[in-house]
Structure formats: structure tokens, C-alpha cells
Amino acid sequence: MPRRPVSLKRPNREQEPLRLSLTLACLLGLTLTLAAPADAQGTYTAGALLGQVESRQLHSHADDTEARTDVVFGAFVDVATPLSWLHIGLEASIARRGGDYQTTTAAGPTAQSARIDYLSFSLMPAVWHDFGPFALYVAAGFARESDVGIGSTAELAPLFDEPSSNVFALTAAAGLEVSFMRKWSARLEVRELNQVSPAFRAPSGDIRHRSREFVIKVGMRPGA
């Protein structure tokens, strides 16, 4: 039988890096929005996103976990540039990452689960190709993440006693957008995220996350 997840007590940590990340993301978004030319296509698009996350935990000195499926949701701003084919994407989201562990006990195989809730800020330049009301795009960039909640079975809890204040990740995405009613658009996007700095420093070694996300975005272009 799967063991019941428990919430872990979070250690006291300095919150300045998180505040700094939020401030920088907001300032960058405002700067890019004001810098976009008035005649740029749509100038900028702002909206919300919702999707599915398939993630696993990568261990530096042990086997990786099985994939775990959960949810991601948040908001985004896509800013046009003087180059019609280049957009700058900014995003803030909550993503539930983690992994499933398969262990063997006297009673037989047992499944245990770990879930880490991340507040993620990402910056992703994208190359666009428009054709009629549709557009294809590919993007690559980086994200800075901070965990806001940790859940695990009691047996796995020692793995997550030493979380990093901030985690750096590389991201890549591809998607299709369709525009409708002049101001509105919907996007279907698939993306990969790979944490390149340790999320946890466990006794058995460092732990990171690798995720694949399937996302739907709905946005509006003010003034279009």
C-alpha cells in the first residue's frame, strides 16, 4: 500500500533572494513592455496558463526516481520587439515537481512519493513564424525557482532537510498559437525544464528535478 504523504517542517531561511527575484522579474517585464514600439505586432500579450507537469528527481549518487504527474499554473507576458520574428517571454508560475520512489520491504514492493511546490520565474526569448491567424514558435531561456512547500512520506523526509534557497534551471519550449476576436489568443505549448543547480543536498548526494510540461495559455493583447 502507498504510504501517506506528510508535510515537512520548513527550515528558517533568508527570504531576500526570493524577494530579489520577484523584483527583478517585475522590473524587467515593465522595461520590456515600455520599450516595445507602438507599431509592434500586438505590442504585448498578457494572460494565464494551466498545464500538466511530468517530473522526476535526479540523484547524483543514486538511481533517479520514477516520473510523477502533477499541475502547473501561473501568468505570462509576451513582449514584441522591433524584430517581428523575435518575442521576449516572461512567466511566473507555481509548479508541483517531485518523483515516485519504488522500495522493497518485508511486505513487498512499496511506492513512496515526494512533491515539491516551486515558485518559478522564467525569461525566454522566442523565435516566431506567423501564417494567417496562426503562429509557430520555439523558445529557450532560464528560470529561477524557490520551493514554497515540501511534501513527502516520513521515510523520505531526510532527503529534503537541506533545500536550496534558489535553484537555477534551463528551459526550452515549442508551441502553436491561434488568434481570435482580434485581441485574444490561445496557445498549446510543450516545454522541458532541467534544474542545473542542486535543489537539495541530501546525505546520499545532490537532488535536482527534470520536468516536461504540457501547457495551455490564454492571453489578450491590450490595444490591438
At 85-121, the pLDDT tens digits run 999 999 999 999 988 887 766 666 777 888 999 999 9
Query: Does residue 204 form part of some domain?
Result: yes
Q: How many residues does the chain have?
A: 224
CA separation for the pair 120, 114 (Å, rounded): 18
Q: How far is CA 34 from CA 27, 47, 126, 201, in A?
A: 11, 18, 19, 41
The residue ranking higher by pLDDT, 70 or 104, is 70
What's the CATH number where 143 sits? 2.40.160.20
pLDDT on residue 6: 46
Nearest Cα neighbor of 164 from 149, 179, 147 is 147
pLDDT band at 7 (very low <50, low <70, confident <90, very high): very low
Range of the domain at 161: 6-220
Query: Does residue 184 form part of some domain?
Result: yes
The answer, yes or no, to whether residue 82 has pLDDT greater than 50, is yes
CA separation for the pair 46, 129 (Å, rounded): 19
**Which grid coordinates are listed for 163?**
533545500
Residue 196, CA atoms < 13 Å, CB-side half-sphere: 10
Provide the whole-model pTM.
0.78
Query: Does residue 117 form part of some domain?
Result: yes
pLDDT cut 90: percent of the chain above it? 53
Query: Does residue 1 form part of some domain?
Result: no
pLDDT on residue 224: 63
Beta bridge partners of 195: 169
The residue ranking higher by pLDDT, 204 or 169, is 169
Query: Does residue 135 form part of some domain?
Result: yes
Query: Does residue 112 form part of some domain?
Result: yes
Number of domains in the chain: 1
Query: Does residue 168 form part of some domain?
Result: yes
